[in-house]
Amino acid sequence: MSGQAIVTIGDKLWNVSIAATLTERATGLSGVVSMPASTGMLFDLGGVQPNVPITMGDMLFPLDIVFVGEDSLVNGVFEDVQIGQAGVEGVNARYFLEVNSGEAAGIGVGDLMGIEVTEEPSQGTDIMGLIMILMIVGVVSAVMKEGLR
């Protein structure tokens, strides 16, 4: 991942990787076998996104997921999200935090999240993200051309 931070919510603390690029956000923890206790991944969406979907199809262990708004206040907590679960939706968020199942116990809506960045995310070009966007544009363009015939 491109950056590191310490995230605190109440008396809980995690050392996290920051997923800031499109590729990092799309990949997330997919394929990771496990995480040490008190670690996780913080997804920075770059701005508030409506109805942030989470897909657990490629996950290998259950998670707790904490959604946080632009104001750094928790606005949703999903505990013990299981491997292969279709997804979690319906929460507007600027950030979401994925931690080991059970580690978000006691966190509630309205709690304040603190982020201390210890290593800034890289500002390099997200080549895979650009490729994904170009592929999507190509598919949409082809579908639209077919629809016009």
Question: Is 94 part of any domain?
Answer: yes
Task: Count how many domains the chain has.
Answer: 1
Q: What is the pLDDT, as a whole number, of residue 56?
A: 79
pLDDT at 85: 74
Q: Name 126's Cβ contacts closer than 8 Å, sequence gap at least 6.
A: 21, 22, 23, 24
Range in 19-23, 72-76, 145-149 with the lowest mean pLDDT: 145-149
Q: Does residue 147 belong to any structural domain of this protein?
A: no
Residue 49's beta-bridge partner residues?
A: 93
| Inside any domain, residue 143 | no
DSSP 120-136: PPP-S--HHHHHHHHHH
Indicate whether 130 belongs to any domain. Answer: no
Name the nearest CA neighbour of 97 among 19, 1, 23. 19
Q: In whole angstroms, what is the distance from residue 40 CA to residue 42 CA?
A: 7
pLDDT digits (tens, 9 = 90+) for 112-138: 999 999 988 765 544 455 555 556 656
- Give yes or no for residue 26 having a pLDDT over 60: yes
19 found inside a domain: yes
**What is the overall mean pLDDT for the chain?**
83
Return the structure tokens found at 7: 């995230």
Give per-residue pLDDT as tens, 35-68.
999 999 999 888 998 888 787 778 899 999 999 9
User: Which structural domain, as residue segments, surrounds residue 114?
Assistant: 3-124
Output the pLDDT for position 37: 96
Task: List Cβ neighbours of 7 (8 Å cut-off, separation of 6 or more).
Answer: 13, 14, 16, 40, 42, 97, 113, 114, 115, 116
Residues of the chain with pLDDT > 70, as a percent, come to 77
DSSP string, 13-51: EEEEEEE-SHHHHHHTTTT-----TTEEEEEEEEEEESS
Tell me what pLDDT residue 112 has: 97
Q: pTM to 2 decimals?
A: 0.78
CATH number of the domain that residue 39 is part of: 2.60.120.1140
pLDDT at 93: 92
